[in-house]
Amino acid sequence: MATDSFLASFPPYVWLSLLIAIPALFLLRDVWVWLRMPPGPTPLPFLGNKLQLPKSQPWLQFEQWSKIYGPIFTIWIGRKPTIVISDPVIAAELMEKRSTKYSSRPRMVAMGEILWDGASVLVQPYGKEWSTRRKLLHQALTPKALRLYKPVQSAEASRLCCELLQSPADWDKLLERFTSSIVFSVAYGHRIDSLNANIIHQRFKFMHYSASLNVPGKYMVESFPILKHVPDILAPWKVDIKVHGREEAAANMALVDVVRSDLARAKTRGDDIPDSLCRLLLELREKEHIPLSDRDFSFIPASLFGAGSDTTASTLCTAFLALVTHPEAVRAAHEELDAVVGSSRTPTFSDEPRLPYLCALVKEVLRWRPVAVLGGTPHASTEDDHYEGYYIPSGTTVLGNSWAINRNEEYYPDPDRFHPTRFLDPTKKAELSLTTPEGKPHPSKSGHSSFGWGRRICPGADLAANSLFIALAKILWAFEIRGLKGVQYDTFAYTEGFNIRPKKFECEITIRGEAHREVLLRELESAKEVLEVFTPFEES
Ligand code: HEM
């Protein structure tokens, strides 16, 4: 009461002055930061560059701005600065060499904190909670573990080829089933036989819901995180998100229970179950303390589907678009496969060192149209920093514009041309070069930046690269892939969103010869033997 009457005793001009002074102080602070940060399009007070940001394909506008303001520029979303990087050396300098400062994520209150309650590694801020989860993921994705997953990747690729033989028009759906099945086999030791499996419907539902929360401006809580503490009774939007979060957590825990019962059954019967990330983590948990609740633990294998299935399938769709529009690449791959593998068997992982063109083709697919077009989930800085005389305050969002980086002409001359030999050494024969011979040496040892940077770099990169290699090797060995006569293909027609894929298109996929067909059908039998142990999730 005393405070109320004290405040009421202020004359109106004091209130008016405060009303002007507080925003003015904020504005002064923003101008002071803006003047010291890397240049960029001029922001409006409090709104920033919101009105200048395009509603679709922002990476194209960012690429244009990089030509005006340079390879590192600033945009403002409201009062929050974001730096956008379009040069691989700058991206590596900040997110790799200075990774202690640039490895966090921007706060995503609705998705990361209310829906997932901090359980998802993808959006977790840098710190102990994140590193516990990341270490567990790494334990199941070591080179030794990756070798264990190769037989199922190879068997699934053989099955994919036979499915393409049967229904070539469904090629994009077949690629999706292929990557879903690999991710589920690696995560839980169970395969996917059809995209109609209940589990797939459920996972897509969760993915779409979480993506729907991440729409800028949809929830005030993103600008005013304190709203997260409003009691549920006054915030029905929060209750709705929590209900979805509980449903997803229950589904994740049920999947871990499936593997737990598989293990128990195998113990009683004295037989074995397939190696999977979930099995490995459950066995580890018996030996040592893992400081995670059952709920949080269940999010680790579950993160594989969200992060690994659609990304790999979309990259394969890009490969099809590249092959359809660049027949010379199909011819070169056929030549190499015929010389090294012949026509009496399909390629295997052990052929990889002798298939440099194919390895280069996989890299070029990843470079040409990076699926995580703005570097996947953004990074955020956790300390003030300076770069080339510019100030970068703690809490800045950092976007690596993979689109612009992968099309940077200094590194990749003629960047729109799908040109795998740019990743081969100048003899174009044997060794796979780590840098591009025609352009400047690239700072990343893979020669592109499509898997991200530093401590947050994609932990599934090698698993994904193995799936891409074996699928493309077997498909190219078996099939001719051509564009339809008279159809003009637009290599820029891509979907919107965080992850992009080519808009639906038709193409001609035909078997290269009778010998190839027979080999595919023969090898399907041994593939079935490998896949048999990965019992399928049921269809609806
Ligand atoms: C072609 C396929 C893939 C591409 C292009 C891709 C790309 C990316 C990118 C760009 C990031 C963000 C990196 C950064 O913040 O610097 C990322 C993160 C991540 N990826 Fe992948 N990815 C692919 C497949 C996979 C697979 C198969 C898995 C599963 C094993 C996976 C698991 C993850 C996880 C868990 C993260 C979050 C890491 C963290 O925040 O610490 N990804 N991925």
| Cα(255)–Cα(370) distance, integer angstroms | 31
Pair 536, 191: CB distance under 8 Å: yes
pLDDT (tens digit, 9 = 90+) per residue, 65-74?
999 999 999 9
pLDDT (tens digit, 9 = 90+) per residue, 13-42?
877 887 888 888 988 999 999 999 999 999
Residue where a domain terminates, one of 86, 111, 136: 86
58 CB under 6 A from ligand 1? Answer: no
Neighbours of 335 (CB within 10 A): 11
Residues 6+ apart with CB under 8 A from 369: 318, 321, 322, 491, 494, 500, 502
What residue type is 409 in one-letter code? E
What residue type is 471 in one-letter code? A
Q: Ligand 1, atom 7: nearest CA belongs to which residue? A: 451
| Overall average pLDDT of the 44-64 stretch | 90
Q: Which atom of ligand 1 is nearest to the CA of 315?
A: 1
Q: What is the pLDDT of residue 527?
A: 97
Q: Which atom of ligand 1 is nearest to the CA of 402?
A: 10
5 C-alpha to ligand 1 centroid (Å): 57
- pLDDT class of 160 with cuts at 50, 70, 90: very high
The torsion angles phi and psi of 83, rounded to 5 degrees, stand at -100, 140
Q: Which atom of ligand 1 is nearest to the CA of 378?
A: 15
The larger pLDDT score, comparing residue 214 to residue 258, is at 258
What residue type is 527 in one-letter code? A
Choice from 311, 312, 373, 466 to test ligand 1 binding pocket (greatest atom count within 8 A of CB): 311
pLDDT (tens digit, 9 = 90+) per residue, 318-334?
999 999 999 999 999 99
CATH assignment at residue 388: 1.10.630.10
Q: Which atom of ligand 1 is nearest to the CA of 375?
A: 10
450 C-alpha to ligand 1 centroid (Å): 9
By residue range, what is the domain housing residue 372?
Answer: 87-533
Pair 467, 141: CB distance under 8 Å: no
* Residue 322 and residue 343 share a domain: yes
DSSP 8-state class, residue 474: H
Q: What is the pLDDT of residue 78?
A: 85
Choice from 136, 458, 466, 469 to test ligand 1 binding pocket (greatest atom count within 8 A of CB): 458
* Residue 214 and residue 70 share a domain: no
Pair 164, 505: CB distance under 8 Å: no
347 CB under 6 A from ligand 1? Answer: no
Pair 83, 397: CB distance under 8 Å: yes
| Cα(188)–Cα(190) distance, integer angstroms | 6
pLDDT (tens digit, 9 = 90+) per residue, 508-526?
999 999 999 999 999 999 9
Q: What is the pLDDT of residue 476?
A: 98
Six-digit token string for 498: 């965080």
Task: Give residue 406's region: left, alpha or beta (phi > 0; psi -120 to 50).
Answer: alpha
Q: Is residue 328 part of a domain?
A: yes
Q: What is the pLDDT of residue 22?
A: 84
- pLDDT class of 432 with cuts at 50, 70, 90: low
Q: What is the pLDDT of residue 428?
A: 61
Q: Ligand 1, atom 20: nearest CA belongs to which residue? A: 458
pLDDT (tens digit, 9 = 90+) per residue, 209-251?
998 888 777 888 887 889 999 999 999 999 999 999 999 999 9
Pair 438, 355: CB distance under 8 Å: no
* Residue 208 and residue 286 share a domain: yes
Q: Is 458 annotated as a binding residue?
A: yes
Pair 493, 340: CB distance under 8 Å: no
* Residue 39 and residue 150 share a domain: no
Choice from 152, 451, 466, 500 to test ligand 1 binding pocket (greatest atom count within 8 A of CB): 451
pLDDT (tens digit, 9 = 90+) per residue, 351-379?
999 999 999 999 999 999 999 999 989 99
Q: Is residue 418 part of a domain?
A: yes
Q: What is the pLDDT of residue 309?
A: 94
307 C-alpha to ligand 1 centroid (Å): 6
User: What is the average pLDDT score of the chain?
Assistant: 92
* Residue 63 and residue 94 share a domain: no
Q: Which atom of ligand 1 is nearest to the CA of 124?
A: 40
Percent residues over pLDDT 90 in the chain? 79
* Residue 2 and residue 124 share a domain: no
HSE (CB half, 13 Å, CA atoms) of 287?
6
Q: Is residue 454 part of a domain?
A: yes
499 C-alpha to ligand 1 centroid (Å): 11
Percent residues over pLDDT 70 in the chain? 96
Give one DSSP letter per residue of 314-352, joined into a string.
Answer: HHHHHHHHHHHH-HHHHHHHHHHHHHHT-SSS---GGGG
* Residue 481 and residue 370 share a domain: yes
371 CB under 6 A from ligand 1? Answer: yes
377 CB under 6 A from ligand 1? Answer: yes
Q: What is the pLDDT of residue 233?
A: 92
pLDDT over 90 at 427, yes or no: no
Q: What is the pLDDT of residue 435?
A: 58
- Residue that the structure tokens 């020669």 belong to: 447
- pLDDT class of 272 with cuts at 50, 70, 90: confident
376 CB under 6 A from ligand 1? Answer: yes
pLDDT over 70 at 430, yes or no: no
What's the complex ipTM? 0.99
Q: Is residue 276 part of a domain?
A: yes
365 CB under 6 A from ligand 1? Answer: no
452 CB under 6 A from ligand 1? Answer: yes
Q: Is residue 540 part of a domain?
A: no
458 C-alpha to ligand 1 centroid (Å): 3
Count structural domains, the chain.
2
* Residue 120 and residue 21 share a domain: no
Pairing of strands 80-85, 397-400: parallel
Q: Is residue 459 part of a domain?
A: yes
378 C-alpha to ligand 1 centroid (Å): 12
* Residue 38 and residue 152 share a domain: no
* Residue 224 and residue 308 share a domain: yes
Q: What is the pLDDT of residue 69?
A: 97
Residue where a domain terminates, one of 61, 86, 111: 86
Helix (H) / strand (E) containing 380: strand 379-380
Q: What is the pLDDT of residue 433?
A: 56
Q: Is residue 539 part of a domain?
A: no
Q: What is the pLDDT of residue 538?
A: 72
* Residue 122 and residue 192 share a domain: yes
The larger pLDDT score, comparing residue 279 to residue 440, is at 279
| Cα(40)–Cα(62) distance, integer angstroms | 10
pLDDT over 70 at 436, yes or no: no
Residue where a domain terminates, one of 86, 116, 143: 86
Q: Ligand 1, atom 19: nearest CA belongs to which residue? A: 458
Task: Give residue 501's region: left, alpha or beta (phi > 0; psi -120 to 50).
Answer: beta
Q: What is the pLDDT of residue 271?
A: 84
Q: Is residue 538 part of a domain?
A: no
For the question of whether the overall pTM of this predicted structure is more than 0.90, the answer is yes
471 CB under 6 A from ligand 1? Answer: no
Of the candidate ranges 44-48, 128-132, 466-470, the one whose mean pLDDT is the lowest: 44-48
Q: Which atom of ligand 1 is nearest to the CA of 465?
A: 1
- pLDDT class of 540 with cuts at 50, 70, 90: low
Q: What is the pLDDT of residue 20?
A: 82
146 CB under 6 A from ligand 1? Answer: no
Question: Over the range 102-141, which residues count as b (16 or more CB within 10 Å of their CB) and which as e?
Answer: bbbbbbbbbbbbbbbeebbbbbbbbeebbebbbebbeebb
Residues 6+ apart with CB under 8 A from 231: none
| Cα(433)–Cα(360) distance, integer angstroms | 9
Q: Which atom of ligand 1 is nearest to the CA of 463?
A: 27
* Residue 403 and residue 274 share a domain: yes
